[in-house]
Structure 1
């Protein structure tokens, strides 16, 4: 059972890392985790799959314990490609999951030599893409709140508009704005 769980964990980490590194996003991909950190099932199946060939045994990626890039990529828990743009929203697990913990960013791909230009949006429990248009994404943000007077943790939803202007000659934006919205 432990071996099967380890293989499943390695497969999930690999899928997350590949989703985070996709240079030309073409469809919306969302990967979420449960509070225990296990991947939530994508969709219920009517019947379990039946093996149709020999299994391939995976080994850990060489240096994966010390490669900061792979360790960081394994922390990606949510990715949303932005159709029609060389951009994506993504969230990285971090901080105290009881008080937000989804470090959320928007990234714009320039080219293979330059890579991604990444702007931090905020630290939330979760976000939902409400709509998207050229140079704009509307988000519903679910976040923890803290009442200093009582010491109580609450939560709220708020909406924001994430907007950018494409740089000259299709270069990445030089600025991104986040505006409160209704």
Structure 2
């Protein structure tokens, strides 16, 4: 249950990211959170004051701007996530694939690349097919252009359910 609680906290912190406003425009309307329709709450006690986190891990968690749980991986807990960084006009979504190993070990994380965005096309145990949009610089003209391509991200599913030692990224059509 702790990984779920942690991810909820991460999503809340992601709204604090300086670049999140520029990414909100890219979220399709059907994926946006529904507007609140409940009446505002009325205070029923004294407010508790909370100080900012001093742990560096909170800073890293606050950089998460995209999260995609992979739900067809059997008993394994696997997710794609992106952190904001760099120049958002030239990619800036550092995209990772993460496997929960154990409470003692935490997550095993693989960096897939620096993209504008990714979309999951399909998934199966040990595999996720992605469509990736990225910025590219034309060295001759200095103009930023874009390209879209597809890849197959694969890994060996261990019989004991442990996280893989490596993943592969294969160009696809």
TM bucket normalised to smaller: 0.7 to 0.9
Q: CA RMSD in A?
A: 3.0
Match of 1:34 among 6, 21, 29: 21
Q: Do the aligned residues in 2 keep the contact of 1:16 with 1:77 (CA within 8 Å)?
A: no
Aligned length: 155
Q: Residues of 1 paired with 2:43 and 2:118: CA distance?
A: 40
Deviations 1:107-160 (A, max 9, x none): 000110111000010000110111111110011101101001100001111111
Whether 2:139 is the aligned partner of 1:148: answer yes
The corresponding residue for 2:56 is: 68
Whether 2:158 is the aligned partner of 1:163: answer no
Q: Residues of 1 paired with 2:47 and 2:135: CA distance?
A: 41
Consecutive unaligned residues in structure 2, runs of 5 or more: 1-6, 14-18
Match of 2:81 among 90, 99, 102: 90
Greater displacement, 105-114 / 78-87: 78-87
Runs (4+) of structure 1 exceeding 3 A deviation are 36-41, 55-60
SS at 2:10's partner residue?
helix
Q: Residues of 2 paired with 1:125 and 1:38: CA distance?
A: 13
- TM value normalised by structure 2: 0.77
